[in-house]
Chains A and B, each alone.
Chain A
Amino acid sequence: MSSLFSQEIPLSWFLLLSAALFALGVVGFLIKRNLITVFMSIELMLNAVNLSFVTFAHQWHAVKGQIFVFFVMMVAAAEAAVGLAIIIAVFRARATLAVDRIDLMKL
């Protein structure tokens, strides 16, 4: 039991988790049919990339990797505010959130 407590985690596990979360985000982006949930999948992908940033910052003891994550968070906050405002505007114009019916720019 004590070996279990003192055991260290290989950083590759964090990277694999990050890759898995990113892939799940891409799958969500492809299969979800609701505009808000599609947007949530994008946030999931951003989070997955943040995890690999923090992992590599830990690997090379670099503070700048973490600061990059901080900037990604800020940009994500701005992006969420603007994106949700766009979703509200789309809902007012089309009265639907289904991505299949928002096809004005489709060829």
Chain B
Amino acid sequence: MHLILFAVFAGFCLVGAINLLIQTHPINSALSLIVVMTSLAVLYLLLGAEFLAAAQVIVYAGAIMVLFTFVVMLLNASREERTLGSRAAAAVGFPAVVAILGVIATIILHAQGLGTASLSDGITSTEDLSKVLFHELLLPFEVTSVLILIAILGAVALARHGDGERPESK
């Protein structure tokens, strides 16, 4: 059961990520990114992270991707034109990607002592998570709320900026 779930949803992840690269219309890329994020939530469940699976669906697949699709529709983003891209990307970027992937894969495959994942062991309940979060890591948690507040103010300020200038130019 576990293996089948992993195979299916890891496949969804990879297909969604490759589809994100292939599609030329941003809305199709956004939808395939939603597929990737939702499948990752199932993989989190397989690893026993039940709270993170829920948060992944709500925060990533829900909030962040809704924001993305809103912006794609708001700006009426059209099909992107394919260009050759920069020479630096072709000369340095792609060999670097292949090299990094190769090194990481070799290290992982030669690593000793990596365990296995099964449904029976190591499920982190939300209670365990919140005990650590609200006792030992309360200050970072509160600081994050300040970060979110600043991000909201910054987003509003950046998005409103154009409105203030438009009447002057007319």
Write the residues of chain A forming the contact surface with B, with a CB cutoff of 8 angstroms.
4-5, 7-17, 19-21, 23-28, 30-34, 36-37, 39-41, 43-44, 47, 50-51, 54-55, 57-59, 61, 63-64, 66-67, 69-71, 73-82, 84-89, 91-93, 97-98, 100
Write the residues of chain B forming the contact surface with A, with a CB cutoff of 8 angstroms.
1-4, 6, 10, 13-14, 17-18, 20-21, 26, 29-30, 33, 36-37, 40, 43-44, 46-49, 51-52, 55-56, 59-60, 63-64, 67-68, 71-72, 74-75, 77, 80-83, 85, 89, 93-94, 97, 100-101, 104-105, 108-109, 111, 114-118, 122, 124, 128-129, 132-133, 137, 140, 144, 147-148, 150-152, 154-156, 158-159, 161-162
Asked if B59 contacts A71 (CB within 8 A), the reply is no
The smallest C-beta distance from B41 to any residue of chain A, in angstroms, reads 10
Chain A residues near B128 (CB, 8 Å)? 63
Chain A residues near B132 (CB, 8 Å)? 63-64, 67
What are 14 A-B residue pairs whose CB atoms fall within 8 Å in the complex?
A11-B117, A16-B108, A21-B36, A26-B97, A27-B21, A33-B82, A44-B20, A51-B44, A58-B115, A59-B114, A84-B68, A87-B71, A89-B161, A98-B81
